[in-house]
Structure 1
């Protein structure tokens, strides 16, 4: 039996996946979690073979951060990223974070089953179109001679970073983006973790170097 942990912020999605996977003779859903921090805790407790990790979870730790942290603590655990984003940016971020594969939420059930079995047996899982995009992106990085941590940030985290660099307070950022101060703080924590920075001045300096304020 392949023991699986589901990490997704939508209860309906988790319940649907649980019913689908438990109906398969080779799968056993050992547990579920609604955000990344809980997912890491459950994984450490349950030691699943495969974690199906949602990419976008606005509350708590997001899928990329959780994947990166979980691979440090459970390096033998295979992580399959579940996402609605079909572009190379998210694909490259997932692989960099340590995921064994990526699958779209719109994929057929049969493809999900195959993906789980593939990563469980130590293989990577990407569909042919995704492999082509990943190879093109990798070759582009090789030509540039850089691997940019900025690509690890979500679009929202990039927005928050830019506004922080412009001197806005958390409250003002929340008002601009129509989100709560707590959500702003969560995004700020995620981007600082991904960029390996510890202070607001370091974030401002990083944003300046990236040219986010219009000059370098």
Structure 2
């Protein structure tokens, strides 16, 4: 299945994590954009949505110490677009939100650190 033209927004405050995720997604054929916090991610999502070119998926880090994290940002994205697909990511796989992601507005979850195969499977499942 070709992923050409599919857009993914990655929100993570750790620049190395965001860069690696972006490179992996590009390798897999996605158009990947990064944001360092929830405020920026919501702004980017709103701009794309208003241009009628929304993201096919948003991957949000759950915890952002110096800004809006995924738990709050997903609410804003879903207010913009109730059909938005938002995946939560965290290095804390024991966090209850990772196990009950649907109760918080997320469509799925992925634990960090990402590996290429796991990211590919998670993104394909969330988009399709």
Show structure 1 runs of 5+ residues with no match: 122-216
Q: Which residue of 2 aligns with 1:8?
A: 12
1:28 corresponds, among 28, 31, 52, to 31
The structure carrying a bigger strand percent of its residues is: 2
Which has the higher Rg, Structure 1 or Structure 2? Answer: 1
Q: 1:15 and 1:54 mapped to 2: Cα distance? A: 13
Change (3 A) 1:32 1:88: closer
Which portions of structure 1, spanning 4 or more consecutive aligned residues, are displaced by more than 4 angstroms?
none
Show structure 2 runs of 5+ residues with no match: 49-53
**Superposition RMSD in Å:** 1.5
Q: 1:40 and 1:18 mapped to 2: Cα distance? A: 18
2:122 corresponds, among 111, 115, 128, to 115
1:81 to partner: Cα distance:
0.9
**TM-score of the superposed pair, with normalisation by structure 2:** 0.84
User: RCO greater where, 1 or 2, for CA within 8 Å and sep 6 or more?
Assistant: 2
Q: 1:35 and 1:9 mapped to 2: Cα distance? A: 6
Pair 1:70-2:74 in alignment: no
- Aligned residue pair count: 119
**TM-score of the superposed pair, with normalisation by structure 1:** 0.52
